[in-house]
Amino acid sequence: MAWIDGYAIPVFEARRTDYARMAEAAAHVFLDHGALHVLESWGADLPAGEVTDFRRAVAAEEGEGVVFSLIVWPDRATRDAGHKAVFEDPRIAAAIDMSVFNSKRMIMGGFEQILSIRAAGGAGA
């Protein structure tokens, strides 16, 4: 089954377009090294939870939005090799602009897929 890398990242609202450009450039590098799908999304409906929520999870501050990202790989072995290759690829250093987001408050992790159901003929993910 697929392997998914997931990220939640606080991003400066004023730098949303810069983040999108950076993410697109980085996505091509991930795809070139074996990723099947890269999805970047801007939090537009982030309700406040009683205990935690997306904004609190990344300690988003005033003027920051939350980006939720997924990178889908065919399996963990491809992800491990691809991830190593991505960060050795000089294009990734050129693509990543650390001034757009706060990496210290980024949440990330790898997940084993346990279910995938799609609508017949549906678009999207």
Please compute the mean of the pLDDT values over residues 38-59 and round it to a whole number.
Answer: 96
Please give the mean pLDDT across all residues of the chain. 94
Domain assignment present for residue 125? The answer is: no
How confident is residue 125, by pLDDT bands cut at 50, 70 and 90? low
The CATH number that applies at residue 102 is: 3.30.70.100
Domain assignment present for residue 123? The answer is: no
pLDDT above 70 coverage of the chain, percent: 97
Tally of domains in the chain = 1
pLDDT in tens, 80-95: 999 999 999 999 988 8
User: What are the contacts of 90-99 at 24+ separation with CB within 8 A?
Assistant: 91/25, 91/28, 91/29, 92/26, 92/29, 94/25, 95/22, 95/25, 95/26, 95/29, 96/22, 96/26, 97/18, 97/22, 99/15
Domain assignment present for residue 85? The answer is: yes
Can you give the residue range of the structural domain that contains 22?
Answer: 3-110
Is pLDDT at 39 greater than 90 in this prediction?
yes
| pLDDT at position 35 | 98
Domain assignment present for residue 88? The answer is: yes
Q: Cα separation of 11 and 19, whole Å?
A: 8
Could you tell me whether strands 3-12 and 64-73 are parallel, antiparallel, or unpaired per DSSP bridges?
antiparallel
